[in-house]
Structure 1
Amino acid sequence: MSTSNSSSGQDKPEIPSGFTWFRMLAAKYTGNITEEQDEIFRNVAVARKEARQCKTCESYRDFNLKWSPIINFMKENIEKLGGNVNTRNIECVNCTETVAGGFNPEQGIMLCQNWVQSKKHVEDTIAHELIHLYDELKFNVDWFDLKHHACSEIRASNLSGECRMMNQIVRYRQFKFVRAHQECVRRRAILSVIANPNCKDKEEAGRVVDQVWDSCFNDTRPFDEIYP
C-alpha cells in the first residue's frame, strides 16, 4: 500500500490577493519590513504556493477522471465490486514524503500536489492507487501482511503503466532495456513494502516480493493483459 504524510491544512494564513499582496512584495524586496511582517510574508508565500499546487493537481485529477481510458476502466470494475470513485475520495494534499500519492482503505486516495509533475503523472498515480482499491474490494487485503502488501504493489506497478519504457527514461532516468519493466515493478514494490511497519529491512522486503512474484506479476485482473 502506498502511503504518504500530508499537512493537515490547519492554521494556514489567510491568502491576500491583488493590491495587498503587491504591497507585501514591495515591502519585502525593498527591505522595508519588520521581522514579524517577514514571517507573515513567508507563511503567506507558502500558502499561496500550496493553493496553486492544489488547483493544478485538482485540474489534472478531474481531467483524468473524465478522459483517461485506464482510469475509467478501473472505475467501472470497482463499481462492479460495490466501490465508488469520485473527486470526494481522491484528494490533493501536501505531502512530506517524496511520493506521488497513496491509498488508505479508510481515507481513500491521496495525490501529492507538491510532487505530481503532469497530467500523465497524475494518470499513472491514480491508476496505481485504483488497483489497490480494486484489490481491497476483491481480495480483502490485509495491508499489514507483507505478502498481501507486496502482491498488491506488484500488481499496481505492473498494471498502472508507470513502469512503461518511456516513463523509466523520462521520469526515473533508467535506460536499461532488457527486463526493464520487471525490474521497475520489483524495485517499486520493494520500496513500498519497506515502509510497512511490519517489515524489518530491505532484505526482508526483497524476499517477500520474490515469494509472491510469479503469481502476482501474472495476475492482470481486471485487465486481459498489461496496460501498454
Structure 2
Amino acid sequence: MAPTQSPRAVPEAVSSPTPTSSAAAATDLPPIVKNDPARTGFDPQTKWWVNYFKILAGQVTPEGQFHYRESRTAANEARDCKRCEDYRDFALQHSPTVRFLREKVEALNGRLDQDNVVCRRCPARLTADGEVHRQSGGFSPDHGILICANEVRDRGHLEDTLAHEMVHAWDHLRWKMDWTGDKDLKHAACTEIRASMLSGECRWTRESFTRGNWTLTQQFQDCVRKRAVASVMARPRCKDDVQAVKAVNQVWDSCYSDTRPFDEVYR
C-alpha cells in the first residue's frame, strides 16, 4: 500500500505553557486528521502485533504509523506514568540543576514537588498540513508542571524537561509573565529563550547524539533560537512563524545574556 502522506514532526518535544486557547484561535488551526483504516492500513480493532507486522511489511502508511504509535502510548499509559514518576522523584532528590531551581522557586514563595509536578500521557496531534505536534511538558501558573510520560525517553530527558519548566516557574514568580501573549509575545519569547538555554536541552551532547545536529559553529545559539521560536508559535495569540521569529529577535540580546537564577549557563 503506497503512502498517501508523510507526517512531519514539529521540532522535537517542544515545551510550552498550557493556556486556554480562544475559540477564534482554535478555528485557525489546521484540522486534526482522524484515522481511516481503508486509507492508512492501520486498524485499531485488530491485535497490536498484527498491525506491527503490517508496518514491517510496508502495508501501513506514515499516517497509519502515527495512529499506531498513539494507540500503543494509550495502552501503555500506566507503565509510562509509573516510569516517569520514578524519574521525577529521582530528579527532585538528586539532580543538582533541579534541586537548585527548586530552592530558588521556594525563595520566591513558590513550591514544586510531587503534588504539582505530575506525569500524564499527552496525546499527539496530526494535522492536515502533515505535521505531528508533540510536547514533552508544560507549565501552568495555576496548576504547576506537567511532564508528558509518553514522550520521556530516559532519566536525562526528563531532567532537561523538568528544568525547562522550572525556569518558567521561576520567571513567573519573579516577573509575573504574560503567558498567553495578550499584550505582546515578548514575555513568552524571553522565558522560552531562557528555559532552552538554562535547562541543558541545547547542550552539545544532546543536540549531536540525540537530534543528529553535528554543527559546531553557533550550535548552542541556533538550538536555543529554534526551540524558542517553536514554543512561541504554540501560543494561541501567535499568528505564524514570522511573528514568532520577530518576537524572539526583539528580546534576544537581553534574554540570552540573562542566566538568572544561575551565575552562568550550567549545563
Report the TM-score range of the alignment, normalised by the length of the smaller protein: 0.7 to 0.9
Matched, 1:2 2:41: no
- CA deviations on 1:151-177 (whole Å, 9 max, x unpaired) are 000000001111000000122221111
- Equivalent residue, structure 1, for 2:220: 181
- SS of the equivalent of 1:114 reads helix
CA distance in 1 between partners of 2:100 and 2:227 (Å): 23
| Displacement of 1:52 | 0.6
- Out of 170, 173, 182, the position equivalent to 1:134 is 170
Match of 2:146 among 110, 121, 125: 110
More helix by share: 1
Residues 137 and 46 (structure 1), Cα distance of their counterparts in 2 relative to 1, 3 Å cut = closer
Q: CA RMSD in A?
A: 2.1
Matched, 1:154 2:168: no
- From 64, 84, 96, the equivalent of 1:69 is 96
C-alpha distance in 2 between matches for 1:186 and 1:218: 13
Q: 1:4 to 1:198 in 2, by over 3 A?
A: closer
Percent identical? 47
Question: What's the counterpart of residue 78 of structure 2?
Answer: 51
Aligned residue type for 1:85 = L
TM-score of the two chains, using structure 2 as the length reference: 0.69
1-structure distance, mates of 2:229, 2:98: 24
Instruction: List alignment gaps of at least 5 residues for structure 1.
Output: 6-27, 30-43
**Which residue in the other structure is 2:242 paired with?**
203
Structure 2, unaligned stretches of length 5 or more? Answer: 1-14, 20-46, 49-70, 125-133
Residue 99 of structure 1 and its aligned partner are, at CA, apart by 1.5
Task: Give the number of the structure whose alpha-carbon radius of gyration is greater.
Answer: 1
Alignment match, 1:101:
137
| Structure 1 residue 144: Cα displacement | 2.2
Could you list the per-position Cα deviations for residues 101-149 of structure 1 after superposition, in whole angstroms to 9, with x for gaps in the alignment? 1111111100000001000000000000000000000011011231000
Match of 1:213 among 252, 255, 259: 252
